[in-house]
Structure 1
Amino acid sequence: MTKLTKGNLLRIVCILASLILGITAIGYVPPVFGQANNEPAPFQTQPYPTVKLAVDLTIVSIDAEINRASQTTQVSIRSVGSLLEEIDFELPVTEYSDIERAIAQELNLTPTLIHPLMRYRID
């Protein structure tokens, strides 16, 4: 049976925190109180889970802010009738047709359905 010390208690707390938060500390051994503090190994997080999400949305507008300097477009999709009221993401394209095609592909729609909802702003 292991004696419960401050160092062991700290290790138990770290293990419980890693189980609850999904964080692993590979190679990290917490310092025992009163000892020199060595640099801990960097934290490594578990990969985020991939989730397929099927949601019925009524899209009311799609705003695209084109940044020619960085060759990216910030997209904001506004919807009603769902918990997801706004979806934001970035695309690595700046041409109108490419933007509409990429958004349509992300939403599994056709560009002809996307086009009337589009509003553009160029920076």
Structure 2
Amino acid sequence: MTGGREWIPRSDALRIAQRLRERRRALGLTQAELAARAGVAQSTLVHWEKGRWPDTIAAAMVNALDAALQAPQGWLLSHAVQPLPVPGFNAGSAVAQEGLSDLQARIPPTRCREIGPHARRLREG
């Protein structure tokens, strides 16, 4: 970071866009909702989710995005590959409370709708 700005290499733009989009969807947020939480125009967020990032971005904006995504500071731009857990989902308690199989517990119903019919069949199977 230099002068309160983060440098975004062109080679990282698509990876960051995918991470942003996937986390927003995991949180069940629309682009408009996430944009409002991060304090950015929805059109800007749309561009970012398509991989159209500026060469540099204000560090405060990165922090606002991380906070809106309920992620640790620096997560969005990091190269860490471990995904964040789905907020509000605890597989252990889901199995105990609902008597679900291990596979069913690992695929929450909200994710089944996003993933499609194959995941839904696995969960119901």
TM more than 0.5: no
The structure carrying a bigger strand percent of its residues is: 1
TM range (shorter): under 0.3
For the pair shown, the structure with the greater C-alpha radius of gyration is 1
Of the two structures, which has the highest relative contact order with CA contacts closer than 8 Å and spacing of 6 or more?
2
**Superposition TM-score, scaled by structure 2 size:** 0.24
Question: Normalising to structure 1: TM-score of the pair?
Answer: 0.24
